[in-house]
């Protein structure tokens, strides 16, 4: 391992970005080679040397490999697939903002990534070709937040916001932090997974200085939790930056309860809390990654009760067309009866919950509490 290996800029400069470079590193299957050719005009290829080193060169179904190297299926658009699967464009008042929920916004800060995920759902933004988000667009985004007092939570994403230099990132965070109604900030990033050396002391300190700020990262398989990735996450947490994980459930990559459980345990061991398990969106070229909705529910059923509650993520379906996220869970209610509800336990046994007689749940003190300081 050379000295430059731990330098994130070296990793980006030396990222594999073409079929020819990739062929030199991995003996590709015919499907992968064709995938690189056929997706070349559709979506960027980019794999850091670090993430490339995690690939099992001997197995085409290596989960890291499947997330980083395209296959032919990715070049095909199937029925029902959408360029904008989450219907975000109609909630995009300015270029940098997606305002879909009442009290929080998605802030698109940058259009590039350390690794281009083959399952990317915002590939219309990260595909390249669209102009880089300019300083003017970022300013306009900040201005939007400033003039919308209902926005108490800003989720910065893109692209990967941690691709920004510390100075640019610091400027954006400072501008958002200066807005009194912004209570919390989140950064959605795959850097701890694909470019963990980016998370150095300086970055961790910078992020901590804008607390409450949460980093939401994106590990999909325990194979990605290396000593480097662990060091990146632990550095953030040690500095006081909570880290959450959102995984995407992908067919043949991590579509098994055993894998998701191991992933959750590996996350918790480095103090990363599993947050969402995302049902794959209906993004163009991603059908080969999609699992039936029932599969995710089955996986949750094999986690809940069987392991630490903190290890059980929310299974989220982001509704095609723009309805937002909803969560699915196994149904433990067997029967709603008169005065009682029958439920089943995680082991499948029946239990009776007697319902109370009184049903008025208004909190009398709330009249006082909600009016305080008014
Ligand atoms: C997922 C998402 C959020 C954040 O949702 P949470 O459930 O609060 O994590 C916000 N805005 C958009 C557009 C999203 O897709």
pLDDT single digits (tens) 249-271: 999 999 999 999 999 999 999 99
Confidence of residue 2 (pLDDT cuts 50, 70, 90): confident
**Burial of residue 370, with CB atoms counted within 10 A of its CB: 0-12 exposed, 13-18 middle, 19 or more buried:** exposed
Going by alpha carbons, the residue nearest to atom 1 of ligand 1 is 325
Q: Which residues line ligand 1 (CB under 6 A)?
A: 98, 100-101, 104, 106, 155, 325
CA of 337 relative to ligand 1 center, distance in Å? 36
Alpha helices in 147-247 (DSSP H): 166-177, 191-194, 201-208, 227-238
Average pLDDT, the chain: 96
Sheet holding 350-354, edge to edge: 333-337, 340-344, 350-354
For residue 159, which of 199, 211, 124 has the smallest C-alpha distance?
124
Q: Is the pLDDT of residue 372 over 80?
A: yes
What domains are defined for the chain?
Answer: 89-328 (3.20.20.70), 332-374 (no CATH)
Among 104, 152, 246, 327, residue to substitute to test ligand 1 (most atoms within 8 Å of Cβ): 104
Atom of ligand 1 nearest to the CA of 318: 15
* Mean pLDDT value of segment 200-204: 98
CA of 318 relative to ligand 1 center, distance in Å? 9
In order of 159, 192, 335, 350, the CA distances from 187 in angstroms are 11, 12, 42, 42
Q: What is the DSSP string of 19-45?
A: HHHHHHHS---HHHHHHHHHHTTTS--
**Burial of residue 70, with CB atoms counted within 10 A of its CB: 0-12 exposed, 13-18 middle, 19 or more buried:** buried
Cα–Cα distance measured from residue 115 to residue 169, given in angstroms and rounded to the nearest whole number: 19
Structure tokens at 236: 């953030």
Cα–Cα distance measured from residue 172 to residue 142, given in angstroms and rounded to the nearest whole number: 8
- The per-residue pLDDT for range 168-182, each reduced to its tens digit, is 999 999 999 999 999
In order of 163, 197, 224, the CA distances from 160 in angstroms are 6, 15, 18
Residue 272 DSSP label: E
Query: 94, 137 in Cβ contact below 8 A?
Result: yes
Query: 254, 221 in Cβ contact below 8 A?
Result: yes
- Which residues does 245 contact at the CB level (< 8 Å), separation at least 6? 216, 217, 218, 219, 263, 267, 272, 273, 274, 275, 313
Atom of ligand 1 nearest to the CA of 106: 11
Residue 359 DSSP label: -
Q: Is the pLDDT of residue 132 over 70?
A: no
The reported pLDDT for the residue numbered 374 is 64
Going by alpha carbons, the residue nearest to atom 14 of ligand 1 is 106
Angle at 220 between CA 219 and CA 225, to 5 degrees: 50
Name the percent of the chain lying above pLDDT 70: 98
- Which residues does 347 contact at the CB level (< 8 Å), separation at least 6? 305
- The per-residue pLDDT for range 207-226, each reduced to its tens digit, is 999 999 999 999 999 999 99
Confidence of residue 129 (pLDDT cuts 50, 70, 90): low
Going by alpha carbons, the residue nearest to atom 6 of ligand 1 is 325
Cα–Cα distance measured from residue 131 to residue 358, given in angstroms and rounded to the nearest whole number: 60
Atom of ligand 1 nearest to the CA of 216: 9
- The per-residue pLDDT for range 50-78, each reduced to its tens digit, is 999 999 999 999 999 999 999 999 999 99
Among 92, 101, 157, 158, residue to substitute to test ligand 1 (most atoms within 8 Å of Cβ): 101
Query: 297, 328 in Cβ contact below 8 A?
Result: yes
The reported pLDDT for the residue numbered 128 is 73
pTM, whole model, 2 decimals?
Answer: 0.96
Going by alpha carbons, the residue nearest to atom 3 of ligand 1 is 106
Among 88, 106, 318, residue to substitute to test ligand 1 (most atoms within 8 Å of Cβ): 106
Range in 1-15, 185-199, 290-304 with the lowest mean pLDDT: 1-15
């Amino acid at each position: 391992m050379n000295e430059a290996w731990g330098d994130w800029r070296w990793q980006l400069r030396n990222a594999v970005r073409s079929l020819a470079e990739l062929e030199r590193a991995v003996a590709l299957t015919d499907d992968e080679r064709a995938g690189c050719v056929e997706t070349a005009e559709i979506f960027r290829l980019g794999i850091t040397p670090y993430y490339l080193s995690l690939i099992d060169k001997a197995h085409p179904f290596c989960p890291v490999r499947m997330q980083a190297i395209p296959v032919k299926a990715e070049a095909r658009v199937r029925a029902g697939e959408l360029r904008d699967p989450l219907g975000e464009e109609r909630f995009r008042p300015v270029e940098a903002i997606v305002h879909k929920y009442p009290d929080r916004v998605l802030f698109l800060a940058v259009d590039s990534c350390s690794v281009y995920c083959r399952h990317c759902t915002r590939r219309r933004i990260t595909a390249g070709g669209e102009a880089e988000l300019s300083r003017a667009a970022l300013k306009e985004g900040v201005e939007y937040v400033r003039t919308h007092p209902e926005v108490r939570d800003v989720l910065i994403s893109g692209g990967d916001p941690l691709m920004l230099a510390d100075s640019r990132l610091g400027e954006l965070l400072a501008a958002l932090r200066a807005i009194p109604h912004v209570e919390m900030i989140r950064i959605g990033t795959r850097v701890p997974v694909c470019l963990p050396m980016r998370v150095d002391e300086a970055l961790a300190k910078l992020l901590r200085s804008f607390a409450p700020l949460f980093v939401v990262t994106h590990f999909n398989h325990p194979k990605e939790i290396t000593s480097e990735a662990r060091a990146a996450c632990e550095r953030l947490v040690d500095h006081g930056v909570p880290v959450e994980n959102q995984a995407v459930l992908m067919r043949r990559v991590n579509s098994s309860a055993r894998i998701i459980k191991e992933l959750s345990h590996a996350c918790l061991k480095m103090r990363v809390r599993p947050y969402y398990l995302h049902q794959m969106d209906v993004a163009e070229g991603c059908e080969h990654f999609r699992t039936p909705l029932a599969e995710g529910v089955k996986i949750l059923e094999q986690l809940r009760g069987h392991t630490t509650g903190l290890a059980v993520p929310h299974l989220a379906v982001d509704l095609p067309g723009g309805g937002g996220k909803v969560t699915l869970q196994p149904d433990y209610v067997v029967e709603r009866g008169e005065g009682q509800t029958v439920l089943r336990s995680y082991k499948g046994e029946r239990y009776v919950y007697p319902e109370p007689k009184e049903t008025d749940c208004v909190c009398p003190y709330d009249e006082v509490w909600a009016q305080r300081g008014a």
